[in-house]
Amino acid sequence: MTRQWLQGVALEARQVSAMLGAAEVLHGIELALAAGQWTSIVGPNGAGKSTLLKVLAGLLAHRGEVRLHGQPLAGLGARARARRLAWLGQGGAGEGSADDLMVYDVAMLGRLPHQRWLAAPGPADRAAVEQALRSTQAWDWRERPLGQLSGGERQRVLLARALAVEAELLLMDEPLANLDPPHQADWIALARAQVRQGRTVVSVLHELNVALAADAMVVMAGGRVLHHGRCNDPATHEALEAVFDKRIVVHRVAGQWIAIPA
Nearer residue to ligand ATP within complex by CB, 21 or 77: 21
Work out whether 60 is an interface residue with ligand ATP (CB under 6 A).
no
**For ligand ATP, the closer CB: 23 or 78:** 23
48 interacts with ligand ATP by CB under 6 A: yes
Report the length, in residues, of the chain.
262
Angular region, 223: left φ>0, alpha ψ -120 to 50, beta rest: left
Element of type H or E holding 210: helix 208-211
Quick check: 257 and 251 in contact, CB under 8 A?
Answer: yes
**What is the per-residue binding string for ligand ATP in 3-32, x denoting contact by CB under 6 A?**
-----------------xx-x-x-------
Integer Cα distance of 133 and 158 in angstroms: 9
Q: Is residue 78 a contact residue for ligand ATP (CB under 6 A)? A: no
Tell me the closest approach of the beta carbon of residue 204 to ligand ATP, in angstroms: 6
Backbone angles phi, psi at 9, to 5 degrees: -105, 125
Which of positions 184-203 make contact with ligand ATP (CB under 6 A)? none
CB 61 within 8 A of CB 255: no
In the complex, which residue's CB is closest to ligand ATP? 21
Q: Is 49 in the site for ligand ATP (CB under 6 A)?
A: yes
How many Cβ atoms sit within 10 Å of the Cβ of residue 214?
24
Rounded to a whole number of angstroms, the minimum distance from the CB of residue 50 to ligand ATP is 3
Q: Of the candidates 43, 92, 110, 113, which one interacts with ligand ATP according to CB under 6 A?
A: 43
Cβ nearer to ligand ATP, comparing 69 with 224: 224
- What's the per-residue H, E or C state across 223-253? CEEEEEEECCCHHHHHHHHHHCCCCEEEEEE
Footprint of ligand ATP (CB under 6 A): 20-21, 23, 25, 43, 45-51
